[in-house]
Amino acid sequence: MRTERRALAVLVAGFIVGLVSGAALGVVWAALAPRVPVIIRQDVSIPQGFQPEEYLASDIAFGVLGLIAGVLVTIGLAYMRREHLLSVLLGSLLAGTVGTAAMWFVGTRLGSVDIAGLQATLTDEVVVDGPLEVHLSGMFLMWVVASAAVVTLLALSDWIGDLRSRARSERTSPSS
């Protein structure tokens, strides 16, 4: 009963930490990510020149924030319950899923631009910073990949430690 309660506590902590840290990272992403200037006219809106570096930099900022969060949140959850890595893995994957969704939601809302509304009210051409978006869908997986990698490294270190302790105990035990 106590073990199940602890495993559930890791899942609940993963959900809460993922939601809160994801929302906070959405604010950071909206502040850090560069925006593409967009020319808005009454009939059309187009990016000002060809600027793939802003799109890429925005996606990389999203991915790096996800990687950092994945490593730190998973280390925190492992500190809570190191002896049961399955609950740490499930909690960190839950945190990564919820956190990535919260980061995307908050960041895109803070970086949104009503282009259709601007087009309807304009009589002349205007240049504004475009909306904040993630264009590389793989960036949504960075948090959960980092979490899985940390849990894999922890499991590998536990396995190597067990092998070493077995080898030591075999060397010190009397042979028959």
pLDDT at residue 4 greater than cutoff 70: no
**Both tokens assigned to 112:** 């949104």
**Helix or strand run (H / E) with residue 128:** strand 126-129
Q: What is the pTM of this model?
A: 0.84
Higher-confidence position of 35 and 59 = 59
Q: Calculate the average pLDDT of the chain.
A: 86
Q: What is the pLDDT of residues 42-53, one digit of tens each?
A: 776 666 666 678
Q: Which of 167 and 95 is assigned the larger pLDDT?
A: 95
Tokens found for residue 167: 């080898």
> Alpha helix locations (H) across the chain?
2-32, 52-80, 85-110, 115-121, 142-172
Give per-residue pLDDT as tens, 127-164. 778 788 899 999 999 999 999 999 999 999 989 988 88
pLDDT digits (tens, 9 = 90+) for 103-132: 999 999 997 777 777 777 777 777 778 788
Note the Cα 137 to chain centre separation in Å. 12
More confident residue, 106 or 40: 106
Half-sphere CA count of 59, side-chain side, radius 13 A: 13
